[in-house]
Structure 1
């Protein structure tokens, strides 16, 4: 019971922080933060760094994530796990649909100094939100189905967290998103990811938990 309450509190806090950023991004405080982070990111600019961050940002594009989705989709079919197959599809579709709706609602224009062209609205960052959900779900699948020992599980979480963080930073470095766009993308993605994982866990709970008490004693 306490675990569910704690999770609900975290979800509410994430949603609240997302909304706070979304409705205050034009204030001097938020603008100041975005300018400071953008200035920090631009201090790394070089031809080599741009090449690296272009590669990293492409890992969060819909084409690459679709490719990875098809691999995970094939794995779920191989296992014959219909529930996992459904959630692999949801991990691709849900964040994209929600991100489009949020962009249309908040209608924040993108930064002007872009190293690569980017269209549509800026808030929240689609690359950040989509990569958080999908790669977070991949990490969950690896930990749940493939990696049983604690130490490798920690390595999986750290590596995927670094990948997601680098994709988010690449969007700031390339000048196509503000820091608060990326932060909001992570927050929205975190909410979606948690809900997907919890629903998946609920649907795949071991059947023995539901076995009547008298059968357990036979």
Structure 2
């Protein structure tokens, strides 16, 4: 069982890493990636309305550093009070590691943001690829889902909560494209890179729980 989980984690991590690397090395040269960005961005931007813009601005804030840091601090505090040390370590490594890796990747790929005139909010000063908000929300959502799945909550509560934790990073990622501060491939790349870290973290957590 443990060997199977480790194999699955390693396989998923490699697959996500390959996908991320393909996007990272192709976005400046491959017309397929550029067409993908253009088509997806046009489709999402076509949905712009005043009320949806207000919602998207609110959603995108939840993927920012202040909200994510506060949320993971509260989560880890609760986990430590409940003596769930593995879950607490999982949350810290996943969220902090995700933010660090995203920042490093931005400096390596150096992709400029979309044109400022198409953005509905001020463009961040950092590079575009990958999306830090998409990465942070994915890692936070995964940490919350992991904690919920290992709690004593009912099966219905677990399912509903996990679905919400999965919808959250998708909503944040879409908001970044909707608001015009990221290309669609930036968001997809963040999900893939986050998948690498998540897969490895799940494998490590499985080992730790087996050792306990």
Do the structures match in fold with TM over 0.5? yes
- Give unpaired runs (5+ residues) of structure 2: none
Asked if residue 120 in structure 1 is aligned to residue 123 in structure 2, the reply is no
Cα distance, 1:82 vs structure 2: 3.6
The match for 1:202 among 186, 207, 212 is 207
- Indicate the residue corresponding to 1:39 in structure 2: 42
Q: SS where residue 150 of structure 2 aligns?
A: helix
- The alignment yields a C-alpha RMSD, in angstroms, of 1.7
Per-residue deviation, residues 5-49 of structure 1 (Å, max 9, x unmatched): 333222211110110000000221111110111101111112111
* Superposition map of 1:7-86 within 5 A: 7-26=9-28, 27-86=30-89
User: Conserved in 2, the CA contact under 8 Å of 1:114 and 1:174?
Assistant: yes
Instruction: Write the distance in 2 (CA, Å) between the matches of 1:9 and 1:80.
Output: 31
- Give unpaired runs (5+ residues) of structure 1: 208-218
The match for 1:172 among 167, 170, 177 is 177
Instruction: Write the distance in 2 (CA, Å) between the matches of 1:125 and 1:4.
Output: 28
Q: SS where residue 176 of structure 1 aligns?
A: coil
Cα distance, 1:143 vs structure 2: 0.7
TM-score, normalisation: structure 1: 0.88
Runs of 4+ in 1 over 6 A off after TM superposition: none
Cα distance, 1:101 vs structure 2: 0.5
Instruction: Write the distance in 2 (CA, Å) between the matches of 1:194 and 1:148.
Output: 25
Q: SS where residue 111 of structure 1 aligns?
A: coil
- Indicate the residue corresponding to 2:148 in structure 1: 142
Instruction: Write the distance in 1 (CA, Å) between the matches of 2:10 and 2:186.
Output: 24
* Structure with max Cα Rg: 1
Instruction: Write the distance in 2 (CA, Å) between the matches of 1:63 and 1:11.
Output: 28
Cα distance, 1:85 vs structure 2: 3.2
Sort the Cα spacing of 1:203 and 1:3 in 2 relative to 1 into closer, same or farther, 3 A.
closer
User: Conserved in 2, the CA contact under 8 Å of 1:99 and 1:124?
Assistant: yes
Sort the Cα spacing of 1:81 and 1:162 in 2 relative to 1 into closer, same or farther, 3 A.
closer
The match for 2:8 among 6, 9, 12 is 6
- Indicate the residue corresponding to 1:190 in structure 2: 195
User: Conserved in 2, the CA contact under 8 Å of 1:147 and 1:153?
Assistant: yes
User: Conserved in 2, the CA contact under 8 Å of 1:132 and 1:193?
Assistant: no
Instruction: Write the distance in 1 (CA, Å) between the matches of 2:8 and 2:204.
Output: 16
User: Conserved in 1, the CA contact under 8 Å of 2:13 and 2:197?
Assistant: no
